Structure formats: structure tokens, C-alpha cells
Structure 1
Amino acid sequence: MELILTTLYERRLKLLRRPEHHKLFSGIRHGIEREGLRVSPDARLAQTSHPKALGKTLTHPYITTDYSEALLEFITPVHNQIDDTLNFLNELHIVTSKVMDNELLWAGSMPSILEGEARIPIARYGHSNPGVMKSVYREGLAHRYGKAMQTIAGLHYNFSLPAELWHLLGQDEAVNGGEQAFQSGFYLGLIRNFRRYSWLLMYLFGASPAVSKSFFAESKVAHSLQSLDEDSLFLPYATSLRMSDMGYTNNAQSSLNVCYNTIEEYVASLSKAIKTPYPPYEEIGVKQGDQYLQLNANLLQIENEYYSNIRPKRIARRGEKPLAALGSRGIEYIEVRCLDINPFEPLGISSTDAHFLDVFLVYTGLKDSPATTTVQECRRTTENFRKTVEEGRRPGLMLESEHGEVSLQEWGLILLEDMLPVAHMLDQANDTSGFTDSIRQQQDKLNDVNLTPSAKLMDALQKGSQSYTDAILNLSRLHQTHFTNSEMSQERQKYFTSLAEESVENQRQLEVADTLSFDEFLKQYHESD
């Protein structure tokens, strides 16, 4: 397989390398969302309420919950520099660790010991209509997919490119329709390429090759997993059980044909799913007496229910639905959703990992990205991803490129070599060597599978004679000690205290301001565009 640079990629690189554009890529914007379960000292899912000192999850801008009351979610503000983003994430961990009493933040993506559906508490957001809606949505997820799946934690990487780029490339490529249309088209091209090459991220960063048997305790099949010990199940060459069929599964969504060729097609396909009744969900029913079981009986309750490795995003205005925001004003940023929590990193991600993600995302955006027009390409992309999450560390594993079969290792090294010009540009723009250094580290992983996080975790389990639960529990304790021993300035402590206090007041005001019944509120929500 030969390395071939597309004409468009070469042309864009040539333009962006001009001295007057050297600083353009210092304007990349980053945000991170990190999920993590609160667990007891013996690795059982916490049954306690969200820590009071952290404020209210509905209205706190940076510390909330995802599916479960025990599933914390840290959301950083947007920063231009990766390390500023990670520093803020670090502060969120410090603030939280100091108010968790004897509980721990679980260091892995696959959950701690689960003791049945009844012991997985759904997140609570108070009595306002928006808060009740969030809880009802989660009730719907429980009825549709079961609660165990919703305890899986991940890390989302939010990414956007500087506004100057759309003007520069748009002028050079003489596009029609204005900068907004060009920006959305560029991001959709990035998404299509991301989907073509995301198997590489699963090899490099997948970190969930094993799971506790308790995950399958109720109505779940353990598929082809092998038993490691009394607690642990694994696949010998897996990189990410989280992203496999035994992680985020959704049979109903397999019928969806979500298109990433145009923003109009993307919005239309998801809008249709939100409005299309689905008989198995109709059997569940929307209400039982006065209690809501789900928001509706359609394929999707809301757009967030659609499971995807990557999403186009636009910050919605107050009262505006996310899809309506995308449809009217285009794509503002993208959200990468396939990343496991790295259990060996206190923050779940390292600075090197984040630097490489920037290179990967700029590369997938700049590289020529033809529209996806054939079923064969969709199947090829899906199968490459499946193979890598289930057996990515298998020696000699072959994937299917558009030119035919190629080994994962060979294809990965070719892609990394192709990315080097992007890494050099990013280094120059940010006065660092961090981006090219990140490429070198990924090349090392492709040349030595034992350096991947999934291999490191399996090594810890097999050579250290530890169960999955014990290994992640030990890492969780290590990280907890790291954060509780970390110092924060008095000024920053006051800042986070004031955020928590403001969130309490903001939720109180929301609840006082409600004038509609929830029935009427939901009716108006469904009827709004």
C-alpha cells in the first residue's frame, strides 16, 4: 500500500504553511467532558446523593452527572491551549476529591461492581420542568436498554478550528454559499474521514479489554468473552469493550441511516428518528398512571440518544433544540465520543494523547473527504472499527482499505506519516514540539503493541494476578491520593465554592419560575421546531 497525498490535502498544506499563516493554528479551541463513577471503598456503585458541596447538577456549569446519580461528569470551559483545558479539568478533580468522604472516582470505563438494576440510581435534577425532563429521559433509557449499559464511562473531546480558517480556505477554494456553509461542509468532511480512520484511535487509546462479571448479572449475554478469574471477563486481543457490541448497543438504531454528506441530510435523518414510532417502545408506554416511563415511544426520545463516535454540534439558544440550532446556523464544533478513560492517567487522558487528537482532527479535516455514497463503504468502515475494538491487538490483523486488505500496523504507520506535516504546523503555531512528539509516541505503540493502554491493563491483570475490579480499584485509590494531596490557591477555592452556591440559587429560581405542568411543558417541547 503506497502513501498517496490527495491534491486537495497538498494544496491546503502549501497554503497554510505560508509564513503569514503560521500562527493560525494557535486558535484551535478545546473542551473536555470526563465521566467517572463514584464508588464505595470496596468498589460498589455509590448509593449516596451527589455531594452537596458541589452544588446542583442541573445548573452547575462544570460539575454535573450523566445517566446515574453516581456517574459524575466534569465539563471544562473552552481553551485555546490544551494544557489550559487539562489544568481546569485537574482543578475539577481536586475540588471533587476533597468532598467525596470515603468514596472514590472509578478510574476505568467499564463499571465497578454492579449489584443489579435496582442499585443503579438514576440521576436527579430537582423539580423544575427541565430537571424532570432530564430524569424522565434517563428513565426511558433504562426501559429501552437497561441500566448497566448506562454506567459505562467515557471521555468526550470537543474541538473547533479558528474562524480565520474558513475565510482563508473558502477564498482559496472559491466555494459558493458563504463561510457558514463552507464551515459546515468542512466539519462534515472531517466527520466522514474520522469515521474512516477512527479504528486507529481505538487501537491507540482503547483501554477497556476486560470487565467485571457483575456487568452481565441481569439479562445481558456475555457474548464470546472469556473468563480470567472469578470476577473478570475479557477478550484476548480487545482494545475497547466499551465501544463493542457488548458496550453501547442499540438494536433499534441499527435501522437508522444517518447521513453525514450534508447538514440538511443529517438534521433530517435524526429529526425523522425522533418522530418515528417504534413498536417495542410503544409497548413500554409513555406513562403509567401519573409516572412517565419515557419522553416518547419513538426511535429516539431526543437527538442525544443517538449513539455515534462523533457528533456535529452547535450551542443552542435558550429554548432551542440542538437539531434546530444545527439546521439554522450550521456546525460550530465537533464532539469526539469514542475515547475510553485511560485508567493509568489521573485525568483519564494525558497531554500527549490530547496533542495527538488535535493532529488527528486537523488531518481528517484537511484531507480530501469524498461523500459516502455506497453501502459497501459504510460496511467497510463499520467492520474496521468492530475488528479493532474486539481484536485490535491480534498479531497480523488485517483491515479493509479502499485499495484492498492491509495490516492494521502498516496502515496506521502510513496514516501517522501522512499526519506529520500537520503536526509540524501545529508545533510551529504553538511554539512547542508536543504535536510531533505525540506522533512519535503513537508510532511506538504501532511498532510495539505492549505499549497500548489495553495491553498494559491486560498485563496488569494477568501478570499481577489481579481481577479487573481490584486493578481499577487500586488505580482509583492512587489517583484519589494524588488529587487530595494536590493544593489549590485560595482564590480558586473561593471561585469553585461560589459556583456551587450560585448553582443552588439558580436551580431554586428555575423551580419557582415554573408555571406550566410537566404534561404541558413536554407537549410544548414536542411541538416546537
Structure 2
Amino acid sequence: MAKNFQQRIHFLNQHPESLTEFGRGIERETLRVNVDGKLSQEAHPSAYGKALTHTSITTDFAESLLEFITPVANSVDQLFDYLNDIHHHVVLNLPSEQYLWPMSMPCYVQSEDHVELAQFGTSNIGKMKTTYRQGLKNRYGSMMQIISGVHYNFSLPASFWDTWSELHDSPLTGKEAQSAGYMGLIRNYLRYGWVIPYLFGASPAICKSFLQGKETKLPFETTGSGTIYLPYATSLRLSDLGYTSSSQSDLNICYNNLDSYLDSVRVALSKKDPKFTEMGIVKDGEYVQLNDNILQIENELYASIRAKRVQKSNETPSQALKARGIEYIEIRSLDVNPFCKLGITKEQVHFLDLFLTWCASVESPELSQQEYKACADNFSQVVTRGRDPKLTLTIAEQTNDVAGWGKWLNTQLADMAILLDKNSEDDCYQNAMKHISPRFEHSENTSSARILNRIINAQGDNGSLALELSKQYKTELEDQSYTIWSDQVFAEQKLQSIDKQKQIEAADKLTFPDFLADYFENAKK
């Protein structure tokens, strides 16, 4: 018999060991900008080592788009010590007239061609990374690709999955239970994950230059000299205008179990797109994309949450998942938080821990394609008009407004917070709920409302506010001290990255076309 929520809480309360030692990691993206707030045209600073092989500091789409990667941490304090140290080292070695952009949506960019693709050296894998980005540029444009976000990686302890099997009356054990449990978490995140952009979305406004003259049906209003916004938007980064792909809308990715998920991804990887076929693969001796499929590689699948497993050498993400199951999940719907120097706060992390544990613990029925599309519509509505008091969302055939859904969810998360705080020293989960839960009823307290009010009240621009914050945070980060690492540690990471890239380049035996043919043939296995 299925357990109700209070029965689940009671059961988890009897197994406190299953709710300790969460695994956490953060990947934070940020643009390097000049003193005038425009995108830096300089190459990735050599002081950071090689982007291809550095363990903590790399680039994403562009040379100017930095990405910071923490190791896995079992405590929130340790996680933020890592993140602080990386930021401190980066700003100490930034060119003097450069800053880190503190918002998700880009700074002023003159044109698509002013975005230099990330370069990863002369190895085949390095060339493949840059060619993949060339494909993204040709398919979607560079502006979309320099949008920044924060990715949160999360894993529950191994002991949780035995408890999960009993909690869900499942006969599964070991990695099968773990993978099934994570897929259940993912389905619930797809149902209720709109709360993340609602609560933490911070991109209701953008610089006009982002549109690059393209038409949009969104009813933008104007403030300052160059900022456009939607009055009720939470995260334009996650809207059709931002980091999405209309070509992927009919891929029918299935999240009901790991095998069906991998099968649907495999189909998507082989599906052609007429627009991309017309584009061609090689022109005038240069690659314009890796292939003409809807997805060049798995990384191109845009999703608010991903199932993940650390890959071995020459292994694709799907092959890793198929061989050893799901190891952790990656949350991809967090905007950069402009109100803090690191782009994310401890309070946000505590809420994410709480929400994701709830997603894994409550019932998670299979998702039909009809329900999946309804969930996607809820998400789309929230990112463009989430603070509209007239907005209603339908979940599992029940309709309510955001405040109503928030009241229901808050009741359950409050009980979960008490449970998780039994393993904490300072009631961090209950405190996070006290600060965050009122935002469902009082939308003026959400991140998007706060940032928009600040811009409009000053009759200013998104860009001028961001530049002001960039300079403030650079000073703060320069003035702090290392907590875990040191200059010596980063010097060693730099040298190791240089040596490792040289080894990779020296080991290449195939031509680049043969390497790609080999890669895609292996990916079919």
C-alpha cells in the first residue's frame, strides 16, 4: 500500500543515517568583461592554466566565459570554501581592467562575431570541443551560448537507497534501486522544478543588444537607455529567448526508467534536422558543426535536470550511465544570483538539498508524454510570467495558482526540514525555509522582483547595475583570504593542466576526421 507523506516522514525519521553525507558540487559560469561593461576580447588568461585539462577553472562556450568547478563536498561550508578559493584566485589573476559579470544574461555585445569561441589546443579532443561550439554558434547564435548559469550537482548517500526501496515498496536493491530512485527524483523535479526559477530566477530584464535585431513576440517594456524587461518574468535565461532549442521540442525523451531514458536519448542522437542538414558539416575545408543531427553530442540536450555518472576515458555520458547506473543529478535551472559575490548562497543550497530530498522521497508516478508537455508548459509560463497573480499551473490534473501550490509544498518541506536538521547543528534547513517560503505568497521578495525593482526605481539599466556589482564583488574577493587551498595549490593545478594537455596532444595518432568517425562509431555501442 502506498504511504502518505506523514508515513514517509515517520519512516525516514527512523533511519536518520540515510540523510547524512550528501554529495554536493557547484559549477558557476561567468563572463569576463572590460571596465566599460563590454565583453572581453582577450584570450583565456594563461595564469589559469589550460582550459582543456584544468580541474577547477575552465571555459564554457567562449574564451571569455569562465566556468569554476568545485570538488565534491559533503558539507555546505566546505563546498563554499572551495568556491570562495576559486573565485579569490581568479580575481587575483584577472587583468586589472577586467571583472566577472554577476548576472546570467550577457553584458553588452556589439555583434555575434565579437564572441570568440573557446579554444582547447591542437589535440583531436580539443578540436572537437571547439568544433562543437562552432556548431552551436551556427545553429543558435553566439548570444544564446554566452548566457551564464549555476549548476548544482547533488547525490544522496548510498545508505539512502536501501531506505528508498522500503519507502517505495520496491524489490530493487543496489545500483538498480539507486538509478530508479534518481529517475523518480527527476520526474518529480520535472513536475515541481518550476519553483527554482520562481524563487531564484534573476533575469527578468536584458540588454537590447542580446536580441541583435531579431524579432520577438514577447511584450517587452523598456527602462533606462537600453534595457528591456517583462513585468512578471522570473528567468528570461530559461525562456524561449534564452538557453533553449525549439528543434528539441519533439524529441520525446522518456524519464520513466533509466533504460527508456537511454533509449530515447540514443534515438535523439541519430535524428536528423533538415535545417542542420542544409547547413552542411564541412565548408571550404572547415567544420561548421560535428554532424547534422538534432543533437551533435549528448551535451546539446537542453534540460533543467540531468542524470549523471563520472565518465571513464573514451566513454560517453550514456555509456557511463548504462554501465554503472546514475551516480548523481545535475540541476541546471539556477540563474546566477546577482546579490552575492559567488553567484549562489548557502541558503539556496540548503533549499535545494531539502527540495531534492523531498523529490526522491515522495511518490513519483511515471510521466506520460502528455503530462511531460504539461510540466514543460508550467515551466515556460513561470519563467516569463511567474509573478503574475493570475497565473495558474496544472500538475497531475490539479490546478492552482503559484501561491496555492507554494502553500501545499511549504507544508511538506517544513516537515522535511525538521527531519534534516536533526543532523545539523544550526537548524539551517528550517532557517532556509523561514526566509524562502514566504516568497510563494509574496512574490515581491523573489530574486527577479528584487532585481527588477532596483533597476526600475533607479530608472537605470541592467548593464550599469551589473557593472557596479562586478566592481564591488571584485574588491570583496580580492580582499578575502584562502580557506582550503593556496596560491601554491593553484600553481600546481596550472602546471598539471599544461603537462596533461601536452600529453594528450602528443598521444594523438589519427587525423581529425578519422578521430570523429571513430568517436561517433564508438558512441553507438
User: Which bin holds the TM-score, normalised by the shorter protein?
Assistant: over 0.9
Residue in structure 1 matched with residue 10 of structure 2 by the alignment = 14
Structure 1 residue 308 displacement after superposition: 0.4
Partner of 2:43: 49
Cα contact 1:38–1:103 (8 A) shared by 2: yes
Question: In the superposition, relative to structure 1, how do residues 393 and 177 fare at CA in structure 2: closer, same or farther (>3 Å)?
Answer: closer
Is the 8 Å Cα contact of residues 116 and 218 (structure 1) preserved in structure 2? Answer: no
Q: Is the 8 A contact 2:161 2:173 kept in 1?
A: no
Q: What are the superposed Cα offsets for residues 418-466 of structure 1, whole Å, 9 maximum, x if unpaired?
A: 1122211211123331101111111222232221111111111111121
2:225 match: 230
Does residue 1:459 correspond to 2:453, yes or no?
yes
Residue type of the partner of 2:512? F
TM superposition shift of 1:173: 5.3
Instruction: Return the alpha-carbon distance in structure 1 between the equivalents of residues 287 and 88 of structure 2.
Output: 37
Task: Check whether the contact 1:12–1:169 (CA below 8 A) recurs between aligned residues.
Answer: no
1:231-380 correspondence to structure 2 within 5 Å? 231-373=226-368, 375=370, 377-380=371-374
2:462 equivalent among 468, 491, 496: 468
1:192 maps to which residue? Answer: 187
Q: Which whole-Å CA distance do the structure 2 matches of 1:353 and 1:271 have between them?
A: 34
- TM-score normalised per structure 1: 0.96
Identical positions, percent: 38
Deviation at 1:501, TM superposition (A): 1.3
Deviation at 1:310, TM superposition (A): 0.3
**More displaced, 216-225 or 512-521?**
216-225
Match of 1:427 in 2: 421
How far did 1:299 drift? 1.0
Aligned length: 522
- 1:8/1:188 Cα in 2 relative to 1: closer, same or farther (>3 Å)? farther
Cα distance, 1:52–1:191 mapped onto 2, change above 3 Å: same
Aligned counterpart in structure 2 of residue 504 of structure 1, from 490, 498, 506: 498
Change (3 A) 1:489 1:308: closer
Matched, 1:75 2:66: no
Which residue, out of 395, 400, 406, partners 1:412? 406
Q: SS of the residue aligned with 1:7?
A: coil
Structure 1 partner of 2:93? 99
Match of 1:3 in 2: none
Amino acid of the structure 2 residue aligned with 1:17? N
Partner deviation per Cα, 1:72-102 (whole Å, 9 max, x = no partner) = 0001000111121111011110000011121
Given that residues 210 and 234 in structure 1 are in contact (C-alpha distance below 8 angstroms), is that contact kept between their aligned partners in structure 2?
Answer: yes
Selected match of 2:164 from 169, 181, 185: 169
How far residue 222 of structure 1 moved from its aligned partner, in angstroms, is 6.5
Q: Tell which deviates more after alignment, 69-78 or 218-227.
A: 218-227
Q: Which amino acid aligns with 2:65?
A: L
SS of match in other structure, 1:233: strand
Instruction: Please list every run of 5 or more consecutive structure 2 residues that lacks an aligned counterpart in the other structure.
Output: none
Cα distance, 1:353 vs structure 2: 0.7
Q: Which moved more, 1:512-521 or 1:136-145?
A: 512-521
The Cα RMSD (Å) is 1.7
Structure 2: distance between partners of 1:173 and 1:154: 34
Secondary structure (helix, strand or coil) at the match of 1:239 reads: coil
User: For residue 111 of structure 2, what is the aligned residue in structure 1?
Assistant: 116
Query: How far off is 1:403 after superposition?
Result: 4.8
- Given that 2:225 and 2:460 are in contact with CA atoms closer than 8 Å, whether structure 1 keeps it comes out as no
Cα displacement string for residues 261-315 of structure 1 (whole angstroms, at most 9, x for unaligned residues): 0111111111111112221111111111321111111110001100000000111
- The answer to whether 1:160 aligns with 2:155 is yes
Q: CA deviation at 1:490?
A: 10
Counterpart residue type for residue 87 of structure 2: H
DSSP-derived class of the 2:432 partner: helix
